Amino acid sequence: MKKAANLIKFSDEIIIDENEHQAQKKISNPDYNLKIKYEDDDLLIISKDSGIIVHPSPNTKTVTLVDILLNFFPKISTVGENSRPGIVHRLDKGTSGLMVIAKKNIILDSLKDQFKKREVIKEYLAIVNGNTKDKGIINAPIGRHPKDRKKYAVVDESSGRYACTHWKLIQNLGNFSLLKFKLDTGRTHQIRVHSAHMGHPIIGDQTYSMCKKLPIKLGGQALHAIELGLIHPITLEKMKFTAPL
């Protein structure tokens, strides 16, 4: 059954081939590299560039972070899911900054558990439209946009998941503000949705911001994962990393 228009009948068998679109793309562009902040036998801490998709989907035709990782570390192909080997968490295509990559399945499970229990420190810098207050907390559930399934939105509790974002003002920049965000949760598009919800969308965000005139040239939205803190699954050491702009 290859066509979306085909109707499914009782007793039909549906087979999903995860490997159908997972052929590794050849890394021929020298600009595709890994900014490694830390590495040991168990994990990697990298700083992702804006404009790179983390893992492939059936329609992905460009090189992804997974392709780059497999090019440098072929052994992680057996870690986790086929479509996202080694991937503990993700950043949007237009977001830059810190990510942790697992080299072993036991490490992947441990790190995912830390994220689930909200033990991981995640801080971001962003430039938003307008002038904000000094600080605040956005506590609003996030779910699929009721009219556009490709977007997310603040929704009521019955149809969304709990999401909490802390923010504070770093500097006013004319008609814009530089903010630092700290996440209690890790919902899809959380900072982007919450920023837009409070009336200060992130500049360069083609999905949630209507502002087209930007104060700086951007390859994506002005959102950067600047700090990541976690506990090493083996040594139990508290580790903290930063990735300056």
What is Dmax (Cα atoms) for the chain? Answer: 63
CA distances from 168 to 70, 123, 146, 202 (A): 38, 11, 30, 14
- Distance between CA atoms of 165 and 14, rounded to whole angstroms? 40
Per annotation, catalytic residue among 41, 92, 113, 156: 92
Q: How far apart are the first and last CA of the chain?
A: 47
Catalytic status, residue 156: no
- Distance between CA atoms of 133 and 75, rounded to whole angstroms? 48
The answer to whether the CB of 54 falls within 8 A of the CB of 66 is yes
SS3 state at 192: helix
- Pull the structure tokens for residue 109: 């499970």
The answer to whether the CB of 192 falls within 8 A of the CB of 221 is yes
Positive or negative torsion for Cα 66, 72, 74, 75:
negative
SS3 state at 220: coil
The answer to whether the CB of 184 falls within 8 A of the CB of 174 is no
Residue 38, Cβ neighbours under 10 Å: how many? 14
Positions marked active-site: 92
